[in-house]
Amino acid sequence: MKFFIDTADIKEIKELAASGLLDGVTTNPSLVAKSGAANFIELITEICKVVPGPVSAEVAAMDYDTMLKEGERLAKIAPNVTVKLPLTYDGLRVCKVLSGQGIMTNVTLCFSANQALLAAKAGATFISPFIGRLDDVSMDGLQLISDIVQIYRNYPELSTEVLAASIRHPVHMLECAKIGADVATMPPAVLKQLFNHPLTDKGLAQFAADWEKSGQTIL
């Protein structure tokens, strides 16, 4: 499974990229606004220099012609830019064109398996089903991941990767990995939570105490 982080905070991206655990980054207009970046193009350019893997940059337009122009502009920033498109009729039309040009695409705001099938037919590199937002309205977000994975496996000619999004906590991560999602994108805080376990902390504390008692040093 590939790990992406869902943020536009360049400081957090640099920190996690240095760990070697980061395979890519996803951004959206809300995250870009939250980052306080003054120039969207410059921000994506900087992220692409830090992270060699896919970096999702989302179009702002909703109509076909403008979305296509924006997508082509974003794709020129760097080879690892993934143009993020809405799961609408025009969004999928743009996805088909950009995919035909060899440009990576990420179709976002997926809430049904039928939508995911359409995105795959349009040649999307990634499909982003939103787990947490479905859970928020008393629907089963993880079941959607399972349904999409199963459908894609039925048709080997479909190359779209399942990018589990709107991940809220480590249990979402675990279940997505068990189901077989190709990628998970999560806030940096959730990725850092994956390290945590009370028995690890307890064991390290005991090791440190015993080592101190020994009076030895390594250096």
CA gap 2, 53 in Å, rounded? 10
- pLDDT tens, position by position, 198-213: 999 999 999 999 999 9
Q: Tens digits of per-residue pLDDT, 49-106?
A: 999 999 999 999 999 999 999 999 999 999 999 999 999 999 999 999 999 999 999 9
Please state whether beta strands 126-129 and 104-110 pair in parallel, antiparallel, or not at all (unpaired).
Answer: parallel
Active site residues: 84
Instruction: Residue 130: name the closest of 160, 106, 109 by CA.
Output: 109
What CATH number belongs to 2-214? Answer: 3.20.20.70
Helices (H), the chain: 10-18, 29-35, 40-50, 64-75, 89-100, 113-121, 131-136, 141-154, 170-179, 188-193, 198-214
> How many whole angstroms from its chain centre is CA 29?
14
